[in-house]
């Protein structure tokens, strides 16, 4: 599923048409692999280098409300780079984005220095709009440059980051309101004010070069109301409905021959459960008679 924005409608009251502002409704998508729900590690959308790895794992659990797994990222050498990208089917005006957040976890066993490094959130944009030539740039959000600085980065715990409003970003290219690449740190509000035509074309989770020995995790990324929950596939189906709509093919670690095989497995599990309940009941009944 690609990212989509749900818009409000125009209503008529007392015969007068009133324009209702667009509203983004939060919709959560469970992502079971790095090639799922519009996400990819493949070029040209993503830039991966060296021995960097990304996998969905339960090694560090997940932030509250996001299950028990997350996207775990490892960069073993300084030359490694790990990216997971979600190129948008339709670009989105940067000024229209009112929700932009994610959660991170830094493994305390990481040897990267400084200890304030975490995965970044990148937005690939066209800052002068798609109707005008040029304008390519990537906006980068890093927790270390936010209020509180390096001291706010914790190890072995989940932290939430909000990239909207006065959150600090930098750009890979000079652009209006951003004098230099990589070293001019400005708020997202300022970038928007200076680039009213800017559109977002790609959303990227990035653990860049220079982070040798960093193991971290990301979960619960929210782009304009589209929330992504990185979660391991369940071992097997537990409900017959889960087998339908070709769910038996892709939704579970267990491999099923077909939908019927999946349904049969669920039925077998249910029968075993009922049998176990009956046995336990009889044991309790027998013990109560002694």
Q: What is the pLDDT of residues 73-91, one digit of tens each?
A: 999 999 999 999 999 999 9
In the chain, which residues have pLDDT < 70? 1-26, 235, 250, 253, 273-283, 285-286, 289-290
- As its CATH architecture, domain 26-230 has Sandwich (2.60)
DSSP character string of 172-192: SS-BTTB-STTT--EEHHHHH
CA distances 146 to 27, 68, 143, Å, are 27, 27, 5
What are the phi and psi torsion angles at 264 (to 5°)? Answer: -60, -40
DSSP character string of 217-279: EEEEEEETTEEEEE-PPPSS--SGGGGTTTHHHHS-SS--SSHHHHHHHHHHHHHHHHHHHHH
| The pLDDT of residue 277 | 64
From CA 223, how far away is CA 89, in angstroms rounded?
A: 14
From CA 64, how far away is CA 225, in angstroms rounded?
A: 18
| pTM: predicted TM-score of the whole model, two decimal places | 0.78
Q: What is the pLDDT of residues 145-201, one digit of tens each?
A: 999 999 999 999 999 999 999 999 999 999 999 999 999 999 999 999 999 999 999
Domain ranges of the chain: 26-230, 236-290
| The pLDDT of residue 13 | 33
CA distances 273 to 50, 237, 255, 276, Å, are 48, 14, 21, 5
Please name the residues in contact with 46: beta carbons below 8 A apart, sequence gap of 6 or more: 40, 83, 84, 85, 204
SS3 at position 193: helix
């Amino acid at each position: 599923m690609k990212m989509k924005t749900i818009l409000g409608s125009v209503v008529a009251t007392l015969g007068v048409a009133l324009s209702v502002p667009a509203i983004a409704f939060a919709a959560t998508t469970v992502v079971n692999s790095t090639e799922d729900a519009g996400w990819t590690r493949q070029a040209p959308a993503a830039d991966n280098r060296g021995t960097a790895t990304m996998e969905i794992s339960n090694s560090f659990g997940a932030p509250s409300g996001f299950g028990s797994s997350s996207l775990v990222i490892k960069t073993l050498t300084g030359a490694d780079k790990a990216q997971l990208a979600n190129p948008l089917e339709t670009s989105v005006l940067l000024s229209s984005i009112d929700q932009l957040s994610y959660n991170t976890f830094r493994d305390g066993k990481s040897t990267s220095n400084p200890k304030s490094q975490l995965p970044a959130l990148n937005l690939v944009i066209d800052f002068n709009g798609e109707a005008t030539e040029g304008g390519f740039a990537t906006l980068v959000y890093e927790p270390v440059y936010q209020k509180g600085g390096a001291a706010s980065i914790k190890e072995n715990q989940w932290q939430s980051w909000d990239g909207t409003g006065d959150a600090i970003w930098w750009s890979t290219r000079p652009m209006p309101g951003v004098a230099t690449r990589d070293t001019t740190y400005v708020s997202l509000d300022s970038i928007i004010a200076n680039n009213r035509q800017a559109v977002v074309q790609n959303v990227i989770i990035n653990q860049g070069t220079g982070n040798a020995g960093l193991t971290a995790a990301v979960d619960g990324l929210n782009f304009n109301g589209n929330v992504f929950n990185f979660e391991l596939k369940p071992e097997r189906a537990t409900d017959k409905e889960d087998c339908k709509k070709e769910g038996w093919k892709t939704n579970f670690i267990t491999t099923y021959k077909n939908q019927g095989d999946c349904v049969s497995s669920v039925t077998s599990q249910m029968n075993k459960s009922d049998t176990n309940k009956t046995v336990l009941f009889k044991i309790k009944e027998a013990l109560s008679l002694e």
